[in-house]
Structure 1
Amino acid sequence: MSAHASQLSRRGFLSGSLLFVAGAAVGCSTDPTGGGSSGARTTLNVWFHAYGEAGTQQAATRYAEAFTKAHPDIAVKVTWVPGDYTGKLNATLLTDGAPDVFEIGDFSAAMARRGQIAPLDDLYGTAAPDFNPGDLAYVTVDGKPHGVKMVDDVVMLYYRKSVLAKAGINPPATFDELVAAAKALTTRNGKGLFVGNDGIGDTPLLAVLSNGGDLVTDGRVGYASPQAVEAVTGLKRLHDDQSLQLGFTTDWWDPSALVQDVVPIQWCGLWAMPAIRTALGDDFGVLPWPAFKPGGRPVVRVGGWTSCVNAKSRHVDAAKRFVQWLWVEQTDLQKDFAESYGFHIPPRTSVAAAADKLAQGPAKETLALAAQYGRNNPNLWDSTVSTPFNAAAAKIVSGQGDPARLLAEAAAQAQTSVDRQHSG
């Protein structure tokens, strides 16, 4: 369930909509736009991207059915959107067919400032202190939350215990050790490390953060700092050693490369842990992305999905009620969503504490890593800010151009976008 944009192509379901009125499924279509019902006074169109974890689509429809039983005057149309969810959502938000409620990954402050998503400060009530403070701050723009976090997705390094032990390699605790391990574990039959089919993935931002740098802080783009230049340049070592798996059949969000013995170390998410355990038993461990050098700090990526209300919906109040009911009030459903379809951390502290499946083994270790080293992308980290950075990093690791100049140019381009966001 990671929020990374490149993952969205993994969702291999057919598009479709299922309409619930007073708890009953009364119709479906393959048109991922709004619909109507003959009964309820209000029909909400609720968009989900096509999650890859088995059972998630059925859970979403079950939740909608439960809501309509409790609110018979509001029909809910669940729309399952495969493929480029973000692109389809952005396009549809410009039309009359835009959904009333939708989820977004990598929450965007720009959407709030453009008036695309409604402030939801009236939804939290007495439950607000129970939400992870970082999650609440993440969705807050100009003093008001504009979404409710649905799940926290943690992304870290998985490694095969037996393979590393046979090679006499300790789980890498520094970037130098990671480079050395990836090189030593690369053989004629496979590579040592998988971070994404492009060999880039999240590594540029991980490198910056693990070297004490910042991406965007207080409205200033920071990824052209000396720490950033040094760390991103350091990634070139993995490429020069040819120790990165490239062009696998699935991307980093899917654990197949690890469980099929293609690589012994892979960057992947907590959501994949049940599938990894099924395939490997106890023969795996988890690690943060290591500190770039002494004085740096290990990093795990914390992403996830946020439920938002279309500010231009004709049914804002009903849409808010749905979001409040499901993602604030229904703690049993939040627990179900977090631990029954892959593993995810519930944003509510009390729900996370009750998630029994996350309280043991590597899942428990992952929660500890997230608490100690977890970093969200800034809510200004939209495509206008991240794309120049990733493009510069791709050139740097392939030896094209001066790293300091490339990152400075990218940061200047991104700063223009950030300034525009703040100026409205």
Structure 2
Amino acid sequence: MRAYGPQLSRRGFLGGSLLFVAGAAVGCTTSPTGGGSADAKATLNVWFHAYGEAGTQQAVTRYATAFTKANPDIAVKVTWVPGDYTSKLNATLLTDGAPDVFEIGDFSEALARRGQIAPLDEVYGSAKADFNQGDLDLVTVDGRLYGVKTLDDVMMLYYRKSVLAKAGIAPPATFDDLVSTARALTTGDTKGLFLGNDGVGDSPIVAVWSNGGELVTDGKAVFDSPQAVAAVTGLKRLHDDRSLLLGFTTDWWDPAAFVQNVVPMQWGGLWSMPAVKAALGDDFGVLPWPAFRPGGTPALRVGGWTSCVNAKGRNVAAAKRFVQWLWVEQTELQKDWAESYGFHIPPRKSVAATADKLSGGAAKETVRIAARYGRGNLGTWDTAVSTPFIAAATKIVGGQGDAARLLADAAAQAQTALDKQRS
């Protein structure tokens, strides 16, 4: 899951903080700063964004209770941050009130290069080999590990088996198939496909990947390549056919449009699968974004959240201990976090192997296609880099300019941001 717009919007708008000392709640505040206890040598302020899945806030406070019981010299204040988490975090990191431990969406190399987050190599210890290699690669900057992935979120295409079968249509295997299927399933009252309220969502990213293109390579913005131009231009066909649902009451991150029979195909996340299954039973399947051309490679997005330690905080050693205890040592809690509040894939291979709720049906298929076709945004893909690309893609699908020129201009803007990351 990502740390900008659509990803955050799927989360709920809950608020509040709880301070736990030796397993008991001793204070409550809505302030995201400070706190302490005479009974502890250190008080950690740990930030989470406001997850929308029911039970998540209670889970993290329960984890804090267990930690302080095991480590009575360290108090933990859980701060549950509603709204635009990323903007609030970035602003707070510039102040003395910055949290000791915080989660981020798509990992940012810039935080490591600025010395804002601490290297966590020793936190992994011998468990390092048990983590998914892609998750390790994500948080590696100049050979050091700067975060611990807490969950892997898979974003893929849901489709209604019965609707496609009734129309005599096989699940789309290429982008041409997706276009024709969306068109065929569009009627006077129903659109064939929901990618997001803006008609864009993740589609430009996965479309480029599915045509053999890249977004950033070796610190260079390369989404103005011929492969990228062709893929993003191809998305315009879906808009020209008027087969996309636009402006629904919730965005792509919520399965409402799919489970309420508003659309027979929707881009969505693994986290929504319990709700989809509850509504539709087994009448749904999952697919990666189809290959742009026959013989090409499908793609889907694997995001998620990463726990980091504030290198400039007052309690770095205690903060590292919290991250190590929860996200490295406590495999049962990691399993609980991954499969009890929506579905997510645990970053540790041994934990993922024991996640019973991911071991069958569409959930198992999601895990399989994620392992085969999953791609994650690089640590350089922050808002300043991604925004010009998405803006250009939005104009292209809307027929508002030449695709090659728009993407070249966007790549130049993104390159300026990339250069600043390393300056």
Specify the alignment match of 1:186 in structure 2. Answer: 186
Specify the alignment match of 1:269 in structure 2. Answer: 269
Counterpart-to-counterpart distance in 1, 2:3 and 2:288: 18
Counterpart-to-counterpart distance in 2, 1:288 and 1:184: 20
What are the equivalent positions in structure 2 for 1:65-144 lying under 5 Å apart? 65-144=65-144
Cα contact 1:15–1:31 (8 A) shared by 2: no
Cα contact 1:5–1:86 (8 A) shared by 2: no
Work out whether 1:149 is the aligned partner of 2:152: no
Shift of 1:3: 4.8
SS of corresponding position for 2:250: coil
CA shift digits 1:252-304 (9 cap, x unpaired)? 11101100111110000101101110111111100000000124210011000
Specify the alignment match of 1:385 in structure 2. Answer: 385
Shift of 1:66: 0.3
Counterpart-to-counterpart distance in 2, 1:366 and 1:109: 28
SS of corresponding position for 2:94: coil
Cα contact 1:194–1:266 (8 A) shared by 2: yes
Counterpart-to-counterpart distance in 2, 1:15 and 1:158: 31
Cα contact 2:2–2:106 (8 A) shared by 1: no
SS of corresponding position for 1:201: coil
What are the equivalent positions in structure 2 for 1:292-311 lying under 5 Å apart? 292-311=292-311
Shift of 1:4: 5.1
Counterpart-to-counterpart distance in 1, 2:220 and 2:364: 35
Counterpart-to-counterpart distance in 2, 1:10 and 1:381: 20
Alignment TM-score, normalising by the size of structure 2: 0.98
Alignment TM-score, normalising by the size of structure 1: 0.98
SS of corresponding position for 1:46: strand
Please list every run of 5 or more consecutive structure 1 residues that lacks an aligned counterpart in the other structure: none
Shift of 1:32: 2.3
CA shift digits 1:92-141 (9 cap, x unpaired)? 11111111100000001111111211111111110011101110010001
Shift of 1:317: 0.6
Counterpart-to-counterpart distance in 2, 1:14 and 1:122: 34
Specify the alignment match of 2:353 in structure 1. Answer: 353
Counterpart-to-counterpart distance in 1, 2:183 and 2:249: 22
Specify the alignment match of 1:51 in structure 2. Answer: 51
Q: Paired residues, what number?
A: 423
Shift of 1:202: 0.4
Shift of 1:31: 1.6
CA shift digits 1:67-89 (9 cap, x unpaired)? 00000010000011111111111
Counterpart-to-counterpart distance in 2, 1:51 and 1:60: 11
Shift of 1:2: 5.6
The one-letter code sitting in structure 2 at the alignment partner of 1:330 is: Q
CA shift digits 1:20-68 (9 cap, x unpaired)? 0000011211222222223211110101011111111111011000000
Counterpart-to-counterpart distance in 1, 2:15 and 2:93: 18
Cα contact 1:119–1:144 (8 A) shared by 2: yes
> Identity, % of aligned pairs?
77
Specify the alignment match of 1:15 in structure 2. Answer: 15
Counterpart-to-counterpart distance in 2, 1:410 and 1:2: 20
Shift of 1:5: 3.4
The one-letter code sitting in structure 2 at the alignment partner of 1:222 is: V
Specify the alignment match of 2:164 in structure 1. Answer: 164
Cα distance change, pair 4–342 in 1 and its aligned pair in 2 (3 A): farther
Specify the alignment match of 1:227 in structure 2. Answer: 227
Counterpart-to-counterpart distance in 2, 1:346 and 1:270: 12
Cα contact 1:8–1:82 (8 A) shared by 2: no
Cα contact 2:194–2:246 (8 A) shared by 1: yes
Counterpart-to-counterpart distance in 1, 2:25 and 2:261: 43
Work out whether 1:375 is the aligned partner of 2:375: yes
Shift of 1:378: 1.0
Work out whether 1:5 is the aligned partner of 2:5: yes
CA shift digits 1:296-353 (9 cap, x unpaired)? 2100110000000111111111001000100011111101111111111111111111
The one-letter code sitting in structure 2 at the alignment partner of 1:171 is: P
The one-letter code sitting in structure 2 at the alignment partner of 1:387 is: T
Counterpart-to-counterpart distance in 2, 1:198 and 1:149: 29
Cα contact 2:4–2:86 (8 A) shared by 1: no
- Note the aligned Cα RMSD (angstroms): 1.1
SS of corresponding position for 2:303: strand
Specify the alignment match of 2:278 in structure 1. Answer: 278
Specify the alignment match of 1:32 in structure 2. Answer: 32
CA shift digits 1:144-165 (9 cap, x unpaired)? 0110000000110001111111
Shift of 1:188: 1.3
Specify the alignment match of 1:238 in structure 2. Answer: 238
Specify the alignment match of 2:288 in structure 1. Answer: 288
Cα contact 2:33–2:99 (8 A) shared by 1: yes
Shift of 1:12: 2.8
Counterpart-to-counterpart distance in 1, 2:12 and 2:344: 20
Cα contact 1:385–1:415 (8 A) shared by 2: yes
Counterpart-to-counterpart distance in 1, 2:272 and 2:147: 25
The one-letter code sitting in structure 2 at the alignment partner of 1:10 is: R
Specify the alignment match of 2:256 in structure 1. Answer: 256
Counterpart-to-counterpart distance in 2, 1:391 and 1:2: 17
Cα distance change, pair 147–5 in 1 and its aligned pair in 2 (3 A): farther
